[in-house]
Every structure is written in structure tokens, then in C-alpha cells.
Structure 1
Amino acid sequence: MRVVIDISEKLKKVEPSATVEVVTLARKLEEKGYDVISFGIGEPDFHTPRKIIEWAYEAMKEGYTHYTPPAGLKETREAIAEKYREENNVDATWENVIITPSKFGIFTAMASVLNPGDEVLIPNPGWVSYCQMAKLLDAKPIGYSVSIRDRAINEEEIKEKITNKTKMIVINSPSNPLGTVFSIEDMKFIRDIAQDKNLIVLSDEIYEKIIYEGRFISPASFEGMLERTIIVNGFSKMYAMTGWRIGYIIAPKTLTKEMTKFQSHTLTCAPAFAQVAVAKALRDDETQEEVKKMIEEYSRRRELVYNELKKIELFEAYKPKGTFYVFPKYNYPMKSSDFARMILEKKHVVVTPGSAFGSLGEGHVRISFATSRENIKKGMERIRELVEEL
């Protein structure tokens, strides 16, 4: 007897990840023996710093293999609060912090404050999961444009899009996929509009240290803004710890109590041994030097991929100010999903279609340069060959 399972209406609203889809197709080609070069997924090619691995191993041997409190170990929460006080001028204490995978942290933040019908302003182009998470909560995502130019945002556009149903604005600086770094003027506008319209600011700060031009500013660093800002950050990108699934939320204390309740019924807690390791990493000078070396290498790769793109007439290139992505526009009459598939099938190079990042991403592809310079040269040469064939 065939069983038919009725999928929930909420899940039917959610679209699959285009990034994961293109990576899945690439793996199928690799299984067939093709040499595939990936500029697709946003994952560092570096290994986690060895001292972090050793600290985690020692923690396991010491018995940190059990549940922790839902919000995390106090010593880890203290280390994160200390980092934000000293580096980012955010007056946080351990009680403002919850340890959680950063992606789950974004969903936790939204689930804790959004009600069905609430509107949330989301960057366009921007990380696709913001929209999908809002849809899962029956909230309404409203896109606002983000630029790589001197000003990341259009103030008048945002003012026009705020209604009496708008409850949250999501910002991501440095941004995925553009590499935009919000300026002090951008952040002051976010502060002013949030205070004036009583909005919650969800600040995705996962690429905080990967900056080449400008400087990182957290909206929570402004006076009075920690009380209406939810910061989500983590260790995946900067510490090459994507598989560890460890990150954190910094939020008003009244809200962290409610978020802890949500986490206790879902994730339960983050891995204990990983919490011990990252607490030590935050305070270890040698580990911080390794992070700096990774960023220096990303900077060299940024120059390389930009120079390679300039050689291809089809592309309109620019240098990202942060992250390890470049988001060039291409001048060819084809949807970005088809263009990305063509590059993969004909030249075995993975790029992510711009349409995966919102309506304003169409006509672009995202290229991740979190891979070796050798792969960058080889992959860009293949793309150039394809363009010449076109």
C-alpha cells in the first residue's frame, strides 16, 4: 500500500538552496571522474587551527561530552561578551549571550520575535535563507536593495518600504554575496530608523573580520542599540570551523531568556567540547594570528580573482570590500541559473547563480575565492575559454 504524506503548508513555501543544488550536481560529475573546480559553497579551504582541535580533544577527555545548559557554558559566554566589549564597543555581558550554531541562531532570533503577518526587511541581493526562514514563520520578507558602492543602502527606499507591520530589519555587513561593508553613515541611518520606527535589528556579523576596505561596525555599538539589536556571529568562516556548527547570539537579556527557552525545546545545546575550545581560541594570541594569516591570503586571492575577471569581456567586475565572494555581472542573454549550469556542464566549474540571492541578483554569479590560488587560476581560465566559445 502506497503511503502519501501530506507536506505542511509552511514547508511548501520554502525553496531549496540553490547553493546546495549546484554543489550536489558537481559531486555527481566528480563521481563520474571529472575534475571539478568549485567556486560555489562559502566554505574556507583552510583547516581549523590545530590548537582549537587539541583543546576540543582535551575537553572531550576531561568529560565535556554531555549536555550543557541550553544557553551554553558560562565561561564561553563570558569570553564572547569580552570579545565584543573589547573589539566592537558593544557593552555585553555573559547574560546577553547564547551559544548556538549561527544559522540556527538566525532562525531562533526570527522565531523569538516575529508573528504571522509581521514584515521583515531583508537585503537584496542577500543570503537566501533569510527569506526562507521568515516564510517558515508566516512572516513576510520585504527586500531592500544593497549596493557595493560607497553607500550600501538607499535610505529613501527603506523609508518607503516600512509599514505599520514592519517589525525587523536584517543587515549583513560584510555582506554575502556582494562583499559590501556598511559605512558609518549606513549604520547611523539603521540606528535612527530603528529607534524612530521601533524596529528590531538582526545583524548577521559572520564575516566580521574578513574586511579589506572600510571597517566593521556593529549596530549594537551605538548608545541604546543593544536593547533592540540581535547579533548573530560564529566561528565557521573566520576560524574555518564550518563542520563544528558553533556560533552565538548576543541580544537583550530579556530576549535571551526567551531564546533559551526556544533552544531548550529544539537544539537543546551546542556541543560542550566545541564551547570549551572556542572560549580558549578567543583569548589565544597564536590562534588570532592564524586568523589574520587566513584573511591575508583571502586578500591575495581577491586581487587574483578580480584581475582574472577583468580579462573576460563578458563580466563587469569589482573588488569586494569584505568576505571571500565576488559577485560579477555578466553580459549574456541567459538566466543566471542556466548560465551557472552551462559553466558547470561545459567546463566543470561551480559558480552560484545570482538569482539564488534575490531578484536583484539575476544577471550575476557568485564566485567564492575561499579556495587555492591554483584553483582560482585554473577555474577562471576555463570560464574564459567558455566565454570565447560563446
Structure 2
Amino acid sequence: MEHLINSQVKNIQISGIRQFFNMVAQFPDAIQLTIGQPDFPTPEHIKDAGKEAISLNKTGYTKNAGLDELCLAATNFVHTKYNLDYNPKTEVITTIGASQGIDIAFRTILEEGSEVILPGPVYPAYEPIIKMCGGIPIYADTRDTGFKITAKQIESLLTDKTRCVMLPYPSNPTGCILTEAELAEIAAVLEDRQIFVISDEIYSELVYGQKHCSIAVFQGMKEKTIIINGLSKSHSMTGWRIGFVFAPENITKHMLKVHQYNVSCASAISQWAAVQALTEGIDDALPMRAEYEKRRDYVYERLLAMGIEVVKPEGAFYLFPSIEKFGLSSNEFATRLLQEGKVACVPGSAFSTYGEGYLRLSYAYSMEILEEGCNRFEKFIQSL
């Protein structure tokens, strides 16, 4: 029966991140630097809120868009943190993680032949969803612009088929951000055009030395922007699966239909825990961010001392060093690093063809693990 499977689905590959993560299981003595998951436990007060929800039998369906209390907490959070104003009753949807938010956003706005401009290298989950919607990913090569998509690049790629521009910043895999000035230039290009923007801001609370800025704060941009966010990275709640989409009502009301028939609603237990996270835990990310910054500085300096070229990340918890000088493909390098050096990192090719020649290293691990990982990495490159 396989010949009857949707051809768009058959042509999709399992994420390169997961492929490599699965391979690592064969090397139990390897240092694992692959997965972008906080190593901090979910804060106790959030776990307690989840337990209380169970004890009080708050385990039924919620409204499709989520609990009223959570929608209010979410809109208050982005207002307080990023100066974004959304109506909690009509302009936010609680999703099953940011991933489902991305899915319903693309499925709502894309049609057959719609073009989506996105930076390369980039998180690998966007392209498959775009293609399953009949859309066409159009990559901007950001390797010579510090891994940042520019207004000039976007303008050069616009066609009459452009339906959306994807802005995933802070970036997975590079850790780069777009500054307020850089976003202002992009907004100037898009302000008067009938083009959606999907802004994936899941790492918004993990920006170092400055405040996160959203494209939606600029004149004329909120009306066309869908913001993706969630609690996985900010509150170390990956398994709770709580995300959000924020958009004007005339967009959200259509995404809500897709969401309704897709999942009905997010877990009620997780939603009650999320209310606690976004209210009493509004600044829970701050101590985690401080620790990530220390880890970033340590690994960045170690890589520079090894003679490795790498852009210093300003957000998230990844470094994306170049391994081009070693003359191996990123997959060959990562495989040998795992087999011979006993360190697991993700080959850059997992993040589109524009990631070839690079390696993604996650520093969402303890300093002890990072020190040993760097020691092994250095020993491995000395053997090449």
C-alpha cells in the first residue's frame, strides 16, 4: 500500500538532527552535544501547579484556543517583555509546542505554489511543512552576512508568488539574532507589501547582553505577522508541550480552525502549569540565561583557541563552527568525531545545503560535560 502514500510525505526525510541523535545511542561513552533541550529541570513551582491541576481534576478539554487564564497570561507576558499588544480573547492560540504553531501557521497561509523566503542555514522543520502545504522554500544564503537574513536579500528574492518571509531569530542552529536596526530595514521592505511574516521567537528569552526585539513592533508589521513562541526553552518545559501563536484576529480566526481539527486543544494539565510559568515565573529564564552565557563564552573561547572559525552567538544555546578547513563533509566530520573522538555534534548539512561545512554544537549541557567535550574535540582535530 505504500505506493498510495501522499508523495509529499514520502519525499520528506527524518530530521538530520534526530538521525544523528539516534546514531549516538550506539556510542554510550560519547559526550552528547546534539539536542537543543535545556538541562535545567522545570522550576518546582511550575511542576507543583501541574500536580495541583491533576489533584483538582482539571483534566478535561479546554477551549480550543486555550484556558482564558493562560491566554491572558501569555498576552501579558509578551506585552511586558517585548512591547507586543494582543487581545487575549481573539489574538492568541495555545498550541502543542511551538512546532504545532508553525504547522498551523503555514497550513493557514500557504497554497500550491506559494513561495516562502527563509534564511539558510536554518532549523530543518520549516521546509518539510512548507512542502507538505504545496509551498516552495526559497533560501537566502546567509553565510556571508553573519548568518543573518538581510533586507537586501529579501528584496532580491521577492516575486509575485512570495507569500511569506520566515524570520527564525534567535537562530537555531547559529545563535544569531536580528538587531532592532536590522529588523527596521526588513520592515521597511515589507511594510507596504501583501506578504505574511512568520517570526519564530521561541528563543526570545535567551538573548545575551540586549533585549529581544520582534518584527511585529514596527509600523505596518503587526497586521501581517504571525509570532511563534512557547515555554520549552524559556522555562525548561520541552515535554510539557506548550506553545503559542500570536496574530491579528483576522488571521488567528483561521488558524484556530486548523488547530481545532488538528488537536482540539493542548493538554489542560500543561496549560495550568503554563499559567504559573507566565505569571509567578515570569523571570524564570533569567538565571538559566546567565548560566548559558557563561557556557557560551567558555566553548566559544575554547574553539577560537583551537583555531576554529565561529561566529559568536547572541542568543539561543548553539554554536555553529566551520569545519571546512579539514576537507571533510559535515556528515563525515561528525561521524568520525563520534566514532573516533567520542563527541556527538550535529552535521551542518542537517540545516539545509547552506549548512554544509559547519557543525552545530549545543551548549545546553553542564560545564563539566562541555569541558570534557571540548577536550575530546581538540584531541580529535589534532589527529586529523
The TM-score normalised by the length of structure 1 is 0.94
Structure 1 runs of 4+ aligned residues shifted over 6 Å read: none
Asked if structure 1 preserves the Cα contact closer than 8 Å seen for 2:32 and 2:343, the reply is: yes
Pairing 1:97–2:97 present: no
Cross-structure match for 1:43: 37
Please list every run of 5 or more consecutive structure 2 residues that lacks an aligned counterpart in the other structure. Answer: none
Asked if structure 2 preserves the Cα contact closer than 8 Å seen for 1:151 and 1:186, the reply is: no
Task: Give 1:304 shift.
Answer: 0.9
Cross-structure match for 1:22: 20
CA deviations on 1:311-355 (whole Å, 9 max, x unpaired) are: 223x21232111100001111111101111111111221101111
Further displaced range: 370-379 or 255-264: 255-264
Cross-structure match for 1:317: 310
Pairing 1:333–2:324 present: no
Decide which of 144, 153, 161 is 2:149's aligned counterpart: 153
Cross-structure match for 1:68: 62
Alpha carbons of structure 1 residues 226 and 155: separation in structure 2 relative to 1, 3 Å: closer
Asked if structure 1 preserves the Cα contact closer than 8 Å seen for 2:45 and 2:276, the reply is: no
Further displaced range: 152-161 or 78-87: 152-161
Pairing 1:122–2:118 present: yes
Counterpart AA for 1:362 = E
Decide which of 9, 12, 21 is 1:11's aligned counterpart: 9
Further displaced range: 108-117 or 289-298: 289-298
Decide which of 362, 372, 378 is 2:372's aligned counterpart: 378
| Identity across matched positions, percent | 34
Pairing 1:357–2:355 present: no
The TM-score normalised by the length of structure 2 is 0.95
Cross-structure match for 1:57: 51
Aligned residues between the structures? 381
Write the distance in 2 (CA, Å) between the matches of 1:337 and 1:235.
Answer: 31
Write the distance in 2 (CA, Å) between the matches of 1:4 and 1:138.
Answer: 21
Task: Give 1:290 shift.
Answer: 3.6
Asked if structure 2 preserves the Cα contact closer than 8 Å seen for 1:145 and 1:154, the reply is: no
CA deviations on 1:108-150 (whole Å, 9 max, x unpaired) are: 0000010010000011111111111101111000011336967
Decide which of 163, 166, 177 is 1:167's aligned counterpart: 163
Asked if structure 2 preserves the Cα contact closer than 8 Å seen for 1:173 and 1:216, the reply is: no
Asked if structure 2 preserves the Cα contact closer than 8 Å seen for 1:147 and 1:180, the reply is: no
Task: Give 1:162 shift.
Answer: 0.5
Task: Give 1:5 shift.
Answer: 5.5
Asked if structure 1 preserves the Cα contact closer than 8 Å seen for 2:117 and 2:140, the reply is: yes
Further displaced range: 161-170 or 212-221: 212-221
Write the distance in 2 (CA, Å) between the matches of 1:354 and 1:368.
Answer: 12
Cross-structure match for 2:217: 221
- SS of alignment partner, residue 46 of structure 2: helix
Asked if structure 1 preserves the Cα contact closer than 8 Å seen for 2:296 and 2:317, the reply is: yes
1:184-263 to structure 2, matched below 5 A, reads: 184-263=180-259
Alpha carbons of structure 1 residues 350 and 148: separation in structure 2 relative to 1, 3 Å: farther
Asked if structure 2 preserves the Cα contact closer than 8 Å seen for 1:59 and 1:273, the reply is: yes
Write the distance in 1 (CA, Å) between the matches of 2:336 and 2:356.
Answer: 16
Asked if structure 1 preserves the Cα contact closer than 8 Å seen for 2:206 and 2:285, the reply is: no
Task: Give 1:80 shift.
Answer: 0.7
- What is the Cα-based RMSD across aligned positions, in Å? 1.6
Counterpart AA for 2:298 = L
Task: Give 1:4 shift.
Answer: 5.1
Please list every run of 5 or more consecutive structure 1 residues that lacks an aligned counterpart in the other structure. Answer: none
Write the distance in 2 (CA, Å) between the matches of 1:137 and 1:166.
Answer: 14
Counterpart AA for 1:103 = S
Counterpart AA for 1:14 = I
Further displaced range: 181-190 or 72-81: 181-190
Task: Give 1:90 shift.
Answer: 1.2
Cross-structure match for 1:137: 133
Counterpart AA for 2:363 = F
